[in-house]
Structure 1
Amino acid sequence: MDASTSARRLGRAAALAVAVALAVTACTSGGGGSGGDVAKSEPPRQDSQDINAKPLDQIKDGGEVRFALDQWITQWNPLQVDGGSYTDTVNLIRTVEPSLFGTDASGTFQPNPDYLVEAKVTSTSPQVITYKLNPKAKWSDGKPLSYLDFKADWQSSNGKDPAYNIADPSGYELISAVEQGADPTEVKVTFAQPYADWQNLFRPLIPAAGIATPDDFNKGWVEKIPITAGPFRIGTADKTAQTLSLVPDPAWWGTKPKLDKITFRVMDKSASIQAYLNNEIDLASAGTAAAYGQLKNAKDTAIRAASPWDEVHISFGGNGALADQKVRQALGRALDRSALIKIANNGVPVEFKPLGNHIIMPNQTGYQDNSGDWAKFDLAAAKKLLDDAGWKEAGSGQPRTKDGQPLELHWVLSDGTQQAQLDLATAAAAMWQAAGVKVDLDKVAANDFFAKYVTPGKFDVASWRNTDSFPNSKSLANFRLPVGDNSFQNPSRLGSQEIDDLLKKAAGTVDPADAAKLYNQADAKIWELGHTVELYQRPVVVAVRKGLANYGAFGLGSEDYSKVGWEK
């Protein structure tokens, strides 16, 4: 508990303190954990990366690397809502489709010479970006990359045609024209309003031939990738065995990848630990006490860590009792975040610090804590908010009632959830019970968690990681108001026009300091809305097979599978 908590409040929360202590104990000793906490390093710096970086001449030709995959990828179109909401889809598709820019360890965009000769702002009023394409770059159907692909991506993703079920119109909705430039290798993109993060668009570029109609866009990439243009292509995709492989594309015009094959196998996190120890995969997450305890001394293993754009939060739905902002605010005030974070952090060698921002991570320029009182544990304040919302106390341990109905909510959890997160949810439920809110923990199948519950908004409470919401303009999709049935990346469907306007204005502000002020104003409103309680930025801590080069913990940098391999 916070040292500043008054004696009266401590008395009311005594049962809660016991519940949290039990949860911490369970996390420490259960599931093959470390049996005690470990020394913690400070979170990695902004420009840190831990990937065993090696030049290509120090990497063997050939070989295989084997990775775990959280769930089977059904929708491969990253511009479509079901594809764009899943980080693994986006990362893998950037390996088989053109990614015009990558990011380095500091999060700075760098052009990819395999696709771009250059790309730059050639006019500021209006903003015009001119792309000079690598003339060697061709799709697998033999067509060269051209302005037609840029035009198709823009027209499908700008939100003007509701038949396209898009992931995120940010940036695309600001484009006014896409044209051929001086020759077929040149593309001119004109913006109606300035857009600071233009390098993040067409990343990846999706071929016009694959999204010619809304039906192609929405259904043509289900269980398949119709056209590619990358260093790798799909080798095998065995849904029954839940195994996928990437192999070098012989038509690739760039530097040949070092590996013969990259294999991905779907498994939950707990299974991946044993699979790593059995030498069935070459990387496993070591970001929990149980995982780190089992993996830290594994044979031929290196532990690598970095801080990416990766956060863990508790998200609220917008239906039933939670349609009332006061109830959502009360849930935030009833949580002792420091106790919850301690549960998640126990036994992990990198410190998790409370996160005070939904948009900017602590290792990014412009970060500030905007949580104010909304994430400050105050049981009395939480109870008053519930009183004001009309939910009456019903006696010790009983849920409050309103119009004869109990205040009972459901926290949806994947059945693949790790023990530390289960302990965290149990502790949070105990905290809410102290305020008079009953929260049931409902486990659902891992493959259904997003598809049937989170993405359609069928939850009261849920917790997941938002990853790779970078650059900052991508945050608009996480908080913007829905349009019809399209909730973008905002499954709770909670938002406001004021938040939308601030985020859009920030995205169009070229000066980084001025943009950060607007993002922080929007973030303060998101906290007040009771949309999400941020917990912590999640550092990536992974166990990696010794000798694996150019892979591990990337921080704010992007993966490049074509450079991955085994040291000579």
Structure 2
Amino acid sequence: MIRVTRALVLALLAVLLAACTQVPLAQPPPPEPGPTAQPEPTELVVAVEDLGAGYNPHLLAHSSPLTTAVAALVLPSVFRPGADGTPQLDRTIATSAEVVSTEPFTVSYELNLEASWSTNTPIAAEDFVYLWEQMRADAGAVDAAGYRMITDVRSRAGGKAVDVVFADPYPAWRSLFSDLLPAHLLKDAPGSWTGATTGGLPASGGPFRIATVDPGRGEVVLARNDTYWDTPAVLDTLVLRRLDDAAMATGLAAGDVDVALAEADPAVRTALGGLAPVPRTQLAPLPTVTQLGLRADDGPLADARARRGVAALLDREAIRTAVAPESLPADAFGPAPSEPGYAPTAPAGAPARPDPIAAEQLLGAAGWTRDPGGGWRADGRPVSLVVGWAAERAEDGRVARLVAAQLAAAGIDATAVESPAADLLVRGTVPADEVPSTPATAPTATATPSPTGATGAPATSAPQPAGAVAADVVVGPRTVGGDPGTELASDYGCALPTDVVPEPPATPTGFCFPALQLLLESLAAGSGADDPARFAAAESVLWTQLPALPLFQPVSLVVSSAAADAATGIAPGPLTEGPLAGAAQWREPGR
């Protein structure tokens, strides 16, 4: 009986265990998924002095620290400056670039198949063609001599390979095709080269893109380019904000500003001196030299002796110390004071401080005379000079007013007149209604005398817009940081016709000295690279002809808090790219 009961119990347990394995216990339902926490967008604010006149880095009229900074972050370049300043191939844009022929001199570029604009249009041969066509034909283009040596730009591999053919060997070819522009958007846009880039850049080929340009608020916002094919920028946005000295200092103290790019002057240092802790400051020379362009094709300064005589009335050092005391004095037409190899080339007697005796002799030799009141006359009329400056360049305005005041004190009626940068630095003109009512004549074609007194090729003035007159003295920038021979030929060479460009534009000041042209062309072609005497010869002729009077190389003050230093590692950067060159790797301070 016990045995039967035990069997029944065991059977019952087996049934219960089987039921437990077949019917699982009820489980609580999984929790409903909640919203995923999104990280706060990262942002870094850079204070700047002004927003400039535009964003085309190839236009002298748009030259500014902001334009340089934006171009380095937004526009694609085949070569970029390395740590030692020499050009290094940017493989995000081109996988190779090399000379493939010497007869004719030909450079072949193989473009990165992934490289594309933020519109998803490939960066391709048409962008090379567009830049070449604009650079060779625009009077306001920067360092255009190398592009004028190109005879053809050919497309291969569906636009992803480019062959560039030159008229002569050009050793500095690596300096070309930097800051490419989106041809597919600009070539048919109203204003194209100039007008379409005044308010921004329509597409990006770099780690950032221009999101907004707001002149009213004084802000340019760069956003991460989400279509960029290489390593993306760390920051979501980089805000470039226009602030005066006091607001800049206040923003740094409050943490609303992380980095500031200020004009190096006592006012800025005074404003920063009141902060605790005092932020770090670094000097960053700009890729320009401020100079006085002297109109050579017509008017009172057409004679080189008149140009040198007027220059002898000026106190260059007083102008520099009053306007930009921390700038670098410039005494050469080639490399800037901050560049390796710079050496003053001004000969004895070249204008540095006022030399009334030399001025009297030179102006008298040019046919100028004194009236009974001490004023200067030429061609029987009182001499009246217009000193033009770009309205978008405040520092140039201070220079212009000082120049006009010094000339007036020396007996020359001179008036400082502001003009839009595109008019002044491309055509060399100022508004007629801003100029005193003195006799004026339209610019004409004039012959330029050679050193022996023979007549050279005529230097024809560019057509002047209605309601404008030619400025006699143009205060403006001369770009530096590139190939020295190319820069000399670009800045001081004649605008000569070629098969490709039969009617080249004249330079803003109309300078053309045929006796110097062959030397400048040889320097651009690299034949003087190992012969400093050839550069010295060109500098000597330029000091005699004086198409321009160098003043100084401006210097920016790079200001950063300790937190910003740690997050950015900011430094002056390459001369041609500036302190923001590495911003794609920056992060927001404190994060």
Which category describes the TM-score, using the shorter chain as reference length? 0.7 to 0.9
Partner of 1:150: 128
- 2:490 matches 1:477: yes
Contact 2:79 2:87 survives alignment (8 Å):
yes
1:245-279, CA deviations, whole angstroms, 9 ceiling, x for partnerless residues? 11001111111112211123456778766766676
CA distance in 1 between partners of 2:149 and 2:118 (Å): 30
State the 1:420 CA deviation: 11
Task: Give, as a single letter, the amino acid of the residue that structure 2 aligns with 1:292.
Answer: R
Task: Give, as a single letter, the amino acid of the residue that structure 2 aligns with 1:150.
Answer: F
Change (3 A) 1:179 1:415: closer
CA distance in 2 between partners of 1:107 and 1:505 (Å): 24
Question: Could you say what secondary structure the match of 2:337 adopts?
Answer: coil
Contact 2:45 2:256 survives alignment (8 Å):
no
Gaps of 5+ in 2: 1-39, 430-470, 497-501
Question: Could you say what secondary structure the match of 2:530 adopts?
Answer: helix
Partner of 2:214: 238
Change (3 A) 1:176 1:246: same
* Equivalences for residues 421-500 of structure 1 within 5 A: 422=398, 428-429=403-404, 431-433=406-408, 435-442=410-417, 444=418, 448-458=419-429, 459-472=471-484, 473-482=486-495, 490-500=507-517
Contact 1:454 1:491 survives alignment (8 Å):
yes
Question: Could you say what secondary structure the match of 1:321 adopts?
Answer: coil
Change (3 A) 1:435 1:95: same
State the 1:168 CA deviation: 5.5
Highest relative contact order (Cα 8 Å, sep 6+), 1 or 2? 1
Partner of 2:585: 563
* Equivalences for residues 157-196 of structure 1 within 5 A: 157-159=135-137, 169-180=144-155, 185-196=160-171
* Equivalences for residues 542-557 of structure 1 within 5 A: 542-546=558-562, 547-548=564-565, 549-556=568-575
Change (3 A) 1:564 1:437: farther
Contact 1:81 1:168 survives alignment (8 Å):
no
CA distance in 1 between partners of 2:246 and 2:387 (Å): 21
Partner of 1:323: 302
- 2:128 matches 1:115: no
User: Percent of aligned positions with the same letter in both sequences?
Assistant: 23
State the 1:385 CA deviation: 1.3
* Equivalences for residues 515-530 of structure 1 within 5 A: 516-530=532-546
Contact 1:391 1:401 survives alignment (8 Å):
yes
CA distance in 2 between partners of 1:420 and 1:173 (Å): 30
Task: Give, as a single letter, the amino acid of the residue that structure 2 aligns with 1:466.
Answer: R
Change (3 A) 1:120 1:242: same
1:341-366, CA deviations, whole angstroms, 9 ceiling, x for partnerless residues? 444465x4xxx553221221234344
Question: Could you say what secondary structure the match of 1:476 adopts?
Answer: helix
Question: Could you say what secondary structure the match of 2:544 adopts?
Answer: helix
Task: Give, as a single letter, the amino acid of the residue that structure 2 aligns with 1:118.
Answer: S
CA distance in 2 between partners of 1:416 and 1:180 (Å): 39
Partner of 1:408: 384
- Which one of 510, 518, 521 corresponds to residue 504 of structure 1? 521
Q: Give the superposed CA RMSD.
A: 3.7
TM-score, normalising length from structure 1? 0.75
Change (3 A) 1:193 1:217: farther
Partner of 1:535: 551
CA distance in 2 between partners of 1:417 and 1:269 (Å): 16
Contact 1:128 1:191 survives alignment (8 Å):
yes
- Which one of 195, 209, 224 corresponds to residue 184 of structure 2? 209
State the 1:471 CA deviation: 2.8
State the 1:406 CA deviation: 1.9
State the 1:204 CA deviation: 1.4
Contact 1:72 1:239 survives alignment (8 Å):
no
State the 1:419 CA deviation: 8.4
State the 1:80 CA deviation: 6.1
CA distance in 2 between partners of 1:269 and 1:304 (Å): 16
CA distance in 1 between partners of 2:248 and 2:516 (Å): 39
Of stretches 221-230 and 137-146 in structure 1, the one that deviates more from structure 2 is: 221-230
Contact 2:387 2:474 survives alignment (8 Å):
yes
CA distance in 2 between partners of 1:236 and 1:214 (Å): 19
From the CA coordinates, give the structure whose radius of gyration is larger: 2
State the 1:294 CA deviation: 2.2
Change (3 A) 1:381 1:105: farther
Contact 1:357 1:534 survives alignment (8 Å):
yes
1:271-309, CA deviations, whole angstroms, 9 ceiling, x for partnerless residues? 766766676543032411222232245345111114453
CA distance in 2 between partners of 1:96 and 1:522 (Å): 36
Task: Give, as a single letter, the amino acid of the residue that structure 1 aligns with 2:181.
Answer: I
Question: Could you say what secondary structure the match of 1:119 adopts?
Answer: strand
Change (3 A) 1:474 1:353: closer
Task: Give, as a single letter, the amino acid of the residue that structure 2 aligns with 1:528.
Answer: T
Partner of 2:262: 285
Change (3 A) 1:216 1:530: closer
Question: Could you say what secondary structure the match of 1:158 adopts?
Answer: helix
Of stretches 336-345 and 323-332 in structure 1, the one that deviates more from structure 2 is: 336-345
CA distance in 1 between partners of 2:397 and 2:192 (Å): 36
Gaps of 5+ in 1: 1-59
TM-score, normalising length from structure 2? 0.72
Change (3 A) 1:278 1:478: farther
Partner of 1:40: none
Contact 1:550 1:563 survives alignment (8 Å):
no
Question: Could you say what secondary structure the match of 2:350 adopts?
Answer: helix
Partner of 1:62: 42
State the 1:384 CA deviation: 1.2
State the 1:171 CA deviation: 1.8
State the 1:469 CA deviation: 4.9
State the 1:166 CA deviation: 5.6
Contact 1:257 1:563 survives alignment (8 Å):
yes
